[in-house]
Amino acid sequence: MLKEEIYSSENHSWYIFCRDPEKPENIIDTNEYLIISDGEGLAMDPGGTEIFAHVVSAFSEVIPVSDISTFFASHQDPDVISSLPLWTGLCPKAKIYLPWLWEDYIAHFDLAAVKQFVTVPDEGSEIRFRNGHIIQLIPAHYVHAPGNYSLYDPSAKMLFSGDIGSALLPNSNYSVFVEDFEQHISYMETFHKRWMPSNRAKNDWIARVRELEVDMLCPQHGAIFKGEMVGKFLDWFEALEVGIAIPS
């Protein structure tokens, strides 16, 4: 599994874990992200059960797993959080931030973990590291799940966007960052048209993100948008007609 530090300051880092060559076929490829702030870890969309062993091994290369204090699930999908009981087994005191809407659903993955749940209200909320570093949870409802959030780190100017910006890449050698935007469209267009159900919700999210300073937009599948690619993605997404499964 590829591990790369994508942001670093004196005491604060972002890592991506992706392109797992051991990943079983027929399982959608996912990116896992980890923020480490003064030795305290926050894992974003830690992934499905089937890839847990590789993810925990890769995480442990950058932080003892016992130092992960927080898990964030952008929504309820199995590729996002079905590994929950395996993580809570190792981190029984960690907080699990998740959309309030999915609390009873995610409990199906791990009923015993409910006591660790911190439900995020519709308007979003914050996660605070022990060193005072604040992370914002930005509403992203209906893009694609009806209860859905992006995670924004204001000091690092990093945005974890969940399924937004995702791409189904042709192979595991694909670059971690988007290099050729036009070519990349071919890997994400169908995904966004089909998975995102609402143009209104999509544009609401874009308007929120345009108000933020974003150096990197980090999706759960595919490649990261960095620098000018962030704006290109937002423009492209804004113009895209989504929710196309129903014939007009």
Partner 1 sequence: MDTSTEAKPRAVMPNETVIGLYKNCMEFTLNSRTFLLRTTELHRVGINAQVMAAQSGEAAPVLSALVSEIGVLTAKISAALNLISGSGGLLAKNAIKTTKTANQLQMYYQAWEIGLEVKTNTLLLSIYEKKEAEMYSLLREVRDQLSAHTATLAELQKTVIFIPALINLINVNVAEYPQYSEQFRVTSTELNDFKDFIESSTSLMSNRIKEAIHLINSAI
Which residues here bind partner 1, judged by CB under 8 A? Answer: 49, 52-54, 56-57, 59-61, 64-66, 85-86, 89-90
Query: Could you give the angle at which helices 199-210 and 228-239 cross, rounded to 10 degrees?
Result: 150
Residues 58, 83 contacting (CB under 8 angstroms): no
Quote the least distance from Cβ 113 to partner 1, whole Å: 13
Task: Determine the 3-state secondary structure of 122 from DSSP.
Answer: coil
Measured from the CB atom, the residue of 85 and 243 that comes closer to partner 1 is 85
Q: Is the dihedral of CA 204, 237, 15, 157 positive or negative?
A: negative
Quote the least distance from Cβ 65 to partner 1, whole Å: 4
Rounded to whole angstroms, what are the CA distances from 146 to 137, 157, 186? 15, 26, 26
Q: Rounded to whole angstroms, how far apart are CA atoms 27 and 248?
A: 32
3-state secondary structure 159-183: EEEECCCCCCCCCCCCCCECCCHHH
Measured from the CB atom, the residue of 64 and 227 that comes closer to partner 1 is 64
Quote the least distance from Cβ 198 to partner 1, whole Å: 36
Quote the least distance from Cβ 85 to partner 1, whole Å: 6
Quote the least distance from Cβ 111 to partner 1, whole Å: 11
DSSP string covering 142-155: TSSSSS-EEEEETT
